[in-house]
Amino acid sequence: MIFAAGLGTRLRPITDRMPKALVPVNGKPLLKIVLDRLVGAGYDDIVVNVHHFADMVEDYLHSLDMENVRVRISDERDFLRDTGGGIRHAGPLLGNGPFLVHNVDIISDMDLQGFAAAFPEGALAALAVSERETSRYLLFGDDMRLVGWTNVSTGEVRSPYPGLDPSRCRKYAFTGIHILSHDVFSLFDAEGFGEKFPIMDFYLKVADRWPVYGVVQKNLHIVDVGKPSALEAVRDNG
């Protein structure tokens, strides 16, 4: 699944006239960059959610000649559901097994096949993470099981474990790429999550009872081009 429904507020005024998913980077829309990466990794059944300039995204997808690849739309025109709600809404299109989720504004050289192969047996989810400087980190135990989240700029800590000490945890940055077990859909209801919620809220609520793991991506080059400065840098450097 590709998250392509967002408003792209950080990229205004560009996204006042087009969806973030179609913002070009060196002549290629972000959506096509991610599609090509997924197809190159062997994915042939892809779901794209739409909301902001939804017609433009749909028209673009219909214009593509992607032989032997099925691309379907999860329509969120009625309202934007955030990441967790977007996954929940797309559930009927996502089959019965594990599925990968990829933000449309993430460009990386990540080994997507290797990440899928590293999905831990019995995991509820596996989050691709890396060692890079940021203000917000996911926190893991020695077994790389998720235990919390922290904002090092503000000192905020979120965790299902009361009194968690971030200094005793492993800290990694989330890439915006993760694989989820189909079991998440039954848990959304059981844990009280409705139509709109961030998926990270869900992970942080259930991580003490359901195994959510981090999978470290070594030597990863990654850019969040949802930020104007990063978008320009990628354009300048090709």
pLDDT in tens, 33-59: 999 999 999 999 999 999 999 999 999
* pTM score of the predicted model: 0.92
Compute the distance between CA of residue 85 and CA of residue 172 in angstroms, rounded to an integer.
Answer: 24
Positions of CATH 3.90.550.10 in the chain: 1-107+223-238, 110-220
- Look up the CATH number of domain 1-107+223-238: 3.90.550.10
In tens, the pLDDT along 95-117 reads 999 999 999 999 999 999 999 99
Q: List, in order, residues 6 or more apart from 51 with CB less than 8 Å away.
A: 5, 6, 7, 76, 77, 79, 80
Compute the distance between CA of residue 83 and CA of residue 236 in angstroms, rounded to an integer.
Answer: 30
φ, ψ of residue 146 in degrees (nearest 5):
-60, 130
- Fold of the domain spanning 110-220: Spore Coat Polysaccharide Biosynthesis Protein SpsA; Chain A (3.90.550)
pLDDT of residue 6: 86
Compute the distance between CA of residue 139 and CA of residue 86 in angstroms, rounded to an integer.
Answer: 24
Kindly give the pairing relationship between strand 136-140 and strand 146-151.
Answer: antiparallel
119-132 burial code (b ≥16 CB/10 A, e <16):
bbeebbbbbbbbee
